[in-house]
């Protein structure tokens, strides 16, 4: 056995030992990190969308409004436009949040919302992350953004071998995943359904596409969806991103991330794909909320 093979074997053994030790605990790493409970916006009627749909709900006997969004590209546009419309609060809950073109554009939109004073909460699962996805945690350095990871692995890298080893020895906990897909704006409107964040879900990846649907909702049911988000957000299994990195995400990393996102947008425009121009058209979001 070569020295390189011995080194790899030793690393795997070490990770297995860590996984066994982690398996002895009922909660994930970072559970002892101090975190503050928070909840959805109490008075959504103080926002433009909140007032609009509170009145609409009263006019329709307390019922909620729904619109199915079957086209992936529209699912992306609506998300961008909903985020841009946020005034007070923005909650995102996803199983997957890729760092590809659409993921980066949505990350930029989230940053813009936070820059104008919107309180942002981002809750992500840790079961299917790949290299690059962890970039979203850099947003936690922003004073208006909090990022939490649901039921995280102890191993924070992306080696499939090491993740599999930890999962195998701690399956009773790590098999419990959060597949929710939810976006809530000002506790007044929401988007629920099958699409995660990634090019494959929005008909943008030329090599692979997933068929899925979203449902735009407005009215009284939005508060129930926010209650569901709050339950997951305040759960013992939802760990602040900084607890996993050992410190608050540095502001320098956030500044670097802003530069990367601007460069990515310039590159997309250079290829003739200007998604922001389509977002700026206001459709399909304006048509949906017009009634």
41: Cβ–Cβ under 8 A, 6 or more apart, which residues? 47, 50, 88, 89, 186, 187, 226
What mean pLDDT is predicted for residues 180-190?
98
Task: Please list, residue by residue across 110-127, b when 16 or more beta carbons sit within 10 angstroms of its beta carbon and e when fewer do.
Answer: bbebbeeebbbbbbbbbb
165-184 pLDDT, tens per residue? 999 999 999 999 999 999 99
**pLDDT for the residue numbered 253:** 83
Distance between CA atoms of 49 and 115, rounded to whole angstroms?
A: 20
Proportion of the chain above pLDDT 70, given as a percent: 88
Does the structure show a pLDDT above 70 at 14? no
Strands 89-94 and 119-125: parallel
Does the structure show a pLDDT above 90 at 268? no
Three-class SS state of 202: coil
Which architecture, in CATH terms, is 28-289? 2-Layer Sandwich (3.30)
Does the structure show a pLDDT above 80 at 6? no
Task: Please list, residue by residue across 27-47, b when 16 or more beta carbons sit within 10 angstroms of its beta carbon and e when fewer do.
Answer: ebbbeeeebeeeebbeebbeb
Does the structure show a pLDDT above 70 at 271? no
The answer to whether the beta carbons of residues 65 and 71 sit under 8 Å apart is no
Alpha helix (H) residue ranges in the chain: 3-23, 48-59, 72-85, 101-115, 160-169, 171-174, 221-233, 241-245, 251-270, 275-280, 285-289
**pLDDT for the residue numbered 25:** 54
Does the structure show a pLDDT above 90 at 194? no
**Domain definitions of the chain by residue range:** 28-289
Does the structure show a pLDDT above 60 at 22? no
- C-alpha distances out from residue 223 to 82, 120, 156, 188, 220, Å: 17, 17, 34, 7, 6
Does the structure show a pLDDT above 90 at 277? no
Quick one: which of 194, 189, 191, 219 has its CA closest to 209? 194
210-267 pLDDT, tens per residue? 989 999 999 999 999 999 999 999 999 999 999 997 666 677 888 888 888 888 777 7
The answer to whether the beta carbons of residues 210 and 201 sit under 8 Å apart is yes
65-108 pLDDT, tens per residue? 999 999 999 999 999 999 999 999 999 999 999 999 999 999 99
What mean pLDDT is predicted for residues 44-61?
93
The answer to whether the beta carbons of residues 112 and 279 sit under 8 Å apart is no
Go through the chain and tell me how many residues it has.
291
């Amino acid at each position: 056995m070569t020295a390189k093979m011995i080194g790899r074997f030793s690393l795997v053994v070490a990770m297995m030992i860590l996984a066994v030790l982690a398996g002895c605990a009922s909660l994930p790493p970072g559970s002892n990190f101090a975190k503050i409970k928070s909840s959805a916006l109490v008075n959504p009627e103080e926002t433009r969308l909140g007032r609009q749909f509170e009145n609409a709900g009263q006019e329709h006997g307390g019922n909620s409004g729904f619109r199915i969004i079957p086209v992936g590209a529209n699912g992306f546009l609506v998300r961008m436009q909903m985020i841009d419309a946020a005034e007070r609060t923005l909650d995102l809950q996803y199983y997957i949040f890729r760092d590809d073109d659409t993921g980066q554009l949505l990350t930029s939109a989230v940053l813009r919302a936070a820059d104008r004073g919107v309180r942002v909460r981002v809750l992500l699962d840790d079961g299917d992350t790949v290299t690059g996805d962890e970039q979203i945690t850099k947003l936690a350095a922003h004073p208006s953004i909090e990022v939490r990871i649901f039921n995280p692995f102890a191993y924070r890298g992306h080696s499939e071998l090491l993740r599999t080893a930890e999962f195998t020895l701690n399956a009773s906990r790590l098999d419990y995943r959060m597949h929710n897909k939810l976006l809530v704006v000002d506790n007044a409107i929401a988007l629920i359904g099958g699409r995660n964040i990634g090019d494959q879900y929005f008909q943008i990846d030329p090599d692979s596409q997933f068929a899925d649907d979203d449902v735009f909702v407005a009215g009284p049911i939005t508060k129930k969806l926010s209650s569901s988000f709050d339950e997951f957000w305040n759960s013992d299994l939802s760990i602040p991103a900084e607890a996993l990195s050992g410190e608050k995400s540095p502001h320098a990393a956030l500044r670097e991330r802003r530069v990367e996102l601007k460069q990515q947008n310039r590159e997309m425009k250079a290829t003739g794909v200007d998604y922001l121009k389509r977002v700026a058209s206001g459709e399909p979001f304006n048509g949906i909320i017009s009634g």
